[in-house]
Amino acid sequence: MFTKYQQSIMRRRSKTGAGILNSLEAAHDLLDKRSHNYSSRPRFVLLIEMLGWENNLAIGPYSSSWRLQRKWIQDALSKTRITEYHSILRERSCKLLLDIMAAPQNLEEHFARLNAAIVLEITYGYHISRADDDLVQLATQATLETASAGK
């Protein structure tokens, strides 16, 4: 990697390395033009390899599929498109306030349901109608079990 750039230094510690680039040309060539060669996420053995979450945008490695999913999300959440979700956000916020007034001791549960409701409705058009919605329960259980599997 550094043979073309004689004044650059590469040091390796355990599995990762660190480079010191001594010229603007080296920095531009290696970090701008070829950044896709050196950028990715850490390897998540449990989540990706064992549980099959390779299509999860938050933890998946950089790839053409990852870039396409990211583009879809950027398009869906752009400044011009976000106004389309105002009615959903307003409706869900009103529901949250009613839930808090009815059971203020369950704040964490109310906010978790609010987050799930907004994401599911915007992403899939799925409307949560009950506090104990099956899909929300399944997602919560999957999250808790995944978190506990890593311990």
- The residue with greater pLDDT, 108 or 49, is 108
Quick one: 29 and 66 in the same domain?
Answer: no
Quick one: 14 and 30 in the same domain?
Answer: yes
- Per the CB < 8 A criterion, the answer to whether 105 and 113 are in contact is no
**CA distance linking residue 86 with residue 51, whole number of Å:** 35
Confidence band, pLDDT 50/70/90 cuts, at residue 37: low
Confidence band, pLDDT 50/70/90 cuts, at residue 7: low
Quick one: 13 and 25 in the same domain?
Answer: yes
Quick one: 7 and 34 in the same domain?
Answer: yes
What would the two tokens of residue 82 be?
A: 């976000």
Domain count, the chain: 3
Quick one: 88 and 65 in the same domain?
Answer: no
User: b vs e for 45-73, b when ≥16 Cβ sit within 10 Å of the residue's Cβ?
Assistant: eebbeebebeeeeeebeeeeebeeeeeee
- Per the CB < 8 A criterion, the answer to whether 40 and 34 are in contact is no
Q: What is the pTM of this model?
A: 0.62
- With a CB cutoff of 8 Å and minimum separation 6, the contacts of 30 are 1, 5, 19, 21, 38
Kindly report the backbone phi and psi dihedral angles of residue 68, in degrees, each rounded to the nearest multiple of 5, phi listed first. -65, -45
Please compute Rg for the chain using Cα positions.
22
Quick one: 46 and 33 in the same domain?
Answer: no
Quick one: 99 and 68 in the same domain?
Answer: no
| pLDDT value at 29 more than 70 | yes
Chosen domain end from 76, 99, 130: 76
pLDDT for the residue numbered 15: 66
Quick one: 70 and 24 in the same domain?
Answer: no
Quick one: 72 and 88 in the same domain?
Answer: no
Quick one: 70 and 90 in the same domain?
Answer: no
Q: Which domain holds residue 28?
A: 1-39
- Per the CB < 8 A criterion, the answer to whether 113 and 99 are in contact is yes
Quick one: 11 and 53 in the same domain?
Answer: no
Tell me, what amino acid is at 143? T
Quick one: 72 and 92 in the same domain?
Answer: no
Q: Chain-wide mean pLDDT for the chain?
A: 81
The tens digit of pLDDT for each residue in 73-102 reads 899 889 889 899 999 999 999 999 999 999
